[in-house]
Structure 1
Amino acid sequence: MMNSITNSYKNTPNSLVHRVPLDFNSLVSVPDSHEWVAESVPVIDLCDPNAKTLIGEACEKWGAFQVTNHGVSMELLNRVELETIRFFSLPANRKLCALRSPEGITGYGVPRTSTYYPKLLWSECFTMMGSPTHHAAQLWPDQPHRQTTFCNLMEECQKEMKALTERVMELMLESLGLTVDDLKWFKPKTGSNKTQALLALNSYPICPEPERAMGLGPHRDTSMLTVLYQSSCRGLQVFQDEMGWIPVQPVPGAIVINIGDLMHILSNGRFNNVLHRAMVNKTRHRVSFAYIYGPPSDELISPLPKLTNDNNPPLYSPVNWKDYIYSKQVHGNNALHALHLTNH
């Protein structure tokens, strides 16, 4: 046995540098030869002539990337971030006036993904579809001007986020060799677009023991795309095989794009539906806001025919967003596995 093991090593001899450790006690810094810096998700300039190719590569490898020169003004992003901080700074009893109903999706409360986990999350969110007029009236019943200001800003944010999302979605389709005509429900320039979206304001309060808590547990989004603006405070992490959990470093002015389960299905598994989570911080209150974009709720989503053939058959059975959200609430991160045709 010993001889056979020795022969194995003889066939792959090490160089000197792989046999002799450093004199660690003599060092005051880590030399380049020993620095392990994990890659992070790509940062893509949407004005780059190669943006389409870079986005396709990022979708396949990472399932997430950041975009700059995206067309959403910093002035708007800063105003929404400040409004988010202002909202979550309201007294708890005031925020509870807009508490989400048990069967609802809009309003104030814990993230809906909290049902996936055995423990609770160190976070709070406020979700809206379109104008949050109803909830604004509950939050500021005696301040009509405050209601109007809040609603106008959130509507403007959704409009700008939608335009960016559709621009990125077109580039993704083109990277797959497709056009908008390959999706009957996705017609961004015709005015007949019937897509749906949510805007979620997220808060991760200061945590006295961040190593014992989780802002958002590991999950994959149900959506086509999630478009996220994160503050300068780190917290978002994505998972990569062989590298583990990797921080998505905040880049000033950049917006994060996450691939969701429905886009993974649509691409017949080519695009990675990224597993991600949000950590909490001991000294800083972190906020973010996310535009969660998907098809009409009853539209059946399945691998696009142009992406399948005899050698590359469809991987998933059709599902609509409405039913898939329900399945995800019940089965958590196992919901997608049930749609895989090899399991039928």
Structure 2
Amino acid sequence: MASAEMVCVTKPRVDAVEILVEKGITSIPEKFIRPREERFTSPTPSEYGEEQVPVIDLQGLNCCEGSVEREKVLKQLAYACEEWGFFQIKQAYAALPGLITQGYGSKYIAREGATRDWRDFVYLFLQPHSRRDYAYWPSDPSDFREVVYNFSEETLKLTKSLLGAFSLNLGLPQNYLETFIVQPYQNMLINYYPRCPEPELTAGFYAHSDIGMVTLLLQETGSKALQIRKNDKWIPVLAAPGALLVNIADQIEIISNGRYKSIEHRVVADKDKPRVSIPVFCDAAPDAIIKPAPELLGRRIVNEATKVEEEMKENAKYTSIVFKNHEIAFYKDGANSKKYVQSYMLQA
């Protein structure tokens, strides 16, 4: 997700989900009920087997170029990006105690009559600093701004490191992706999913792929409310202790010409316990032109079998877009699986 036309408040609205739960409702209002064909339930273990999102230690990225440790991490990242589109990372600054706090907000979809998700939230603009409006930042707890400021700076460093690794794995210069998007724009959501009396009728968040470049998600250890779509199956993501969950977003899919895919994910509502999650989104600059990297469409490579340099040509699979147009479409119509990205695909 990104910025677009959203207004956040730091005080609960009358129709906030948390307020409804505090009233002791036993059935959910009609505006939260999804059409029958859009409802979903949690899969049983037999449905998804033992598959789980890869966990990667990024420490090797700090090693010198060409080192065994660095190459090992790059290969792990390449596998995770190509096969999953999601991975969890372990690093000292991944766990920041005291960050979780309640968040309140309103529906994010502009379209009148759209089905509501079963959640409340606070949404913050973090990077560049000129976008910040502290009038929307909670003042309780008192160190909220300091913690979020530090978290923003560290996650921005991490994101740039990941973009560098993705660039190298795609055969591009290390700073390619960061330069391609003009300037990283960073936003944060603090999601609160209250208990739901009828979870089978609604969703915490409907199926979608994130619209930007990369998302870093801080969530409660052991939570399985988040599910990702892999091989046409919905797999619950078990939140590892002290880890950030990373997922590839739409713009990476387009720039990589489909080599890396943005992955659909959703959040199920829970009848027994609430959930808090904090995603940080790295997006392209609003006016950035997003298209398949020209360097990936025509370049020379060495054939490993013959050791002869050959020219590799590949047709663009996506049309060019302006990022802010993609962003506005999402906030106008809401989560819609991957139909936005699919609409940019060119006929073969």
Q: TM-score, normalised by structure 2?
A: 0.71
| Paired residue total | 271
Give the Å deviation of 1:122.
0.5
Q: 1:170 to 1:116 in 2, by over 3 A?
A: farther
The answer as to 2:347 corresponding to 1:342 is yes
Give the Å deviation of 1:117.
9.6
Give the Å deviation of 1:121.
0.8
The answer as to 2:249 corresponding to 1:260 is yes
Give the Å deviation of 1:183.
4.2
Q: 1:167 to 1:280 in 2, by over 3 A?
A: same
Greater length-normalized contact order (CA 8 Å, ≥ 6 residues apart): 2
Q: Map residues 67-106 of structure 1 onto 2, 5 A cutoff.
A: 67-69=89-91, 71-72=92-93, 74=95, 77-81=96-100, 84=101, 87-88=102-103, 95=104
Give the Å deviation of 1:147.
7.4
Structure-1 separation of matches of 2:328 and 2:171:
32
> Secondary structure, in 3 states, of the residue corresponding to 1:208?
coil
| TM-align CA RMSD | 2.6
Give the Å deviation of 1:337.
2.2
Structure-2 separation of matches of 1:117 and 1:279:
21
Q: 1:115 to 1:72 in 2, by over 3 A?
A: farther
Q: Percent identity among equivalent residues?
A: 27
Superposed CA deviations along residues 236-283 of structure 1, whole A, max 9, x for unmatched, are 1100124x1001111000111111110100100000110000112222
Superposed CA deviations along residues 288-310 of structure 1, whole A, max 9, x for unmatched, are 10111012111101111121137
Q: 1:36 to 1:322 in 2, by over 3 A?
A: closer
Q: Which runs of 5+ in 2 are unaligned?
A: 1-45, 61-68, 127-131, 299-311
Q: Which runs of 5+ in 1 are unaligned?
A: 1-33, 89-94, 96-107, 141-145, 188-192
Match 1:109 to one of 96, 106, 111: 106
Larger Rg computed on CA atoms: 1
Give the Å deviation of 1:326.
1.5
Structure-1 separation of matches of 2:332 and 2:47:
43
C-alpha contact (below 8 Å) 1:226/1:293 kept by paired residues? yes
Give the Å deviation of 1:185.
2.5
Structure-1 separation of matches of 2:218 and 2:177:
27
The answer as to 2:117 corresponding to 1:121 is yes
Q: 1:54 to 1:127 in 2, by over 3 A?
A: same
C-alpha contact (below 8 Å) 1:226/1:292 kept by paired residues? yes
Q: Map residues 265-344 of structure 1 onto 2, 5 A cutoff.
A: 265-309=254-298, 311-330=313-332, 332=336, 333-342=338-347
Counterpart of 1:175? 169
Larger helix share, 1 or 2: 1
Counterpart of 1:10? none
C-alpha contact (below 8 Å) 1:63/1:272 kept by paired residues? yes
Q: TM-score, normalised by structure 1?
A: 0.72
Q: 1:291 to 1:117 in 2, by over 3 A?
A: farther
C-alpha contact (below 8 Å) 1:300/1:318 kept by paired residues? yes
Structure-2 separation of matches of 1:293 and 1:197:
5
Q: Map residues 137-156 of structure 1 onto 2, 5 A cutoff.
A: 146=140, 149-156=143-150
**In structure 2, what residue type is equivalent to 1:51?**
V
Q: 1:79 to 1:315 in 2, by over 3 A?
A: same
C-alpha contact (below 8 Å) 1:328/1:334 kept by paired residues? no
Counterpart of 2:56? 44
Structure-1 separation of matches of 2:52 and 2:141:
40
Give the Å deviation of 1:148.
5.5
Structure-1 separation of matches of 2:320 and 2:272:
45
Give the Å deviation of 1:311.
4.0
> Secondary structure, in 3 states, of the residue corresponding to 1:246?
strand
Counterpart of 1:143? none
Match 1:54 to one of 64, 67, 76: 76
- Using the TM superposition, name which of 214-223 and 122-131 deviates more: 122-131
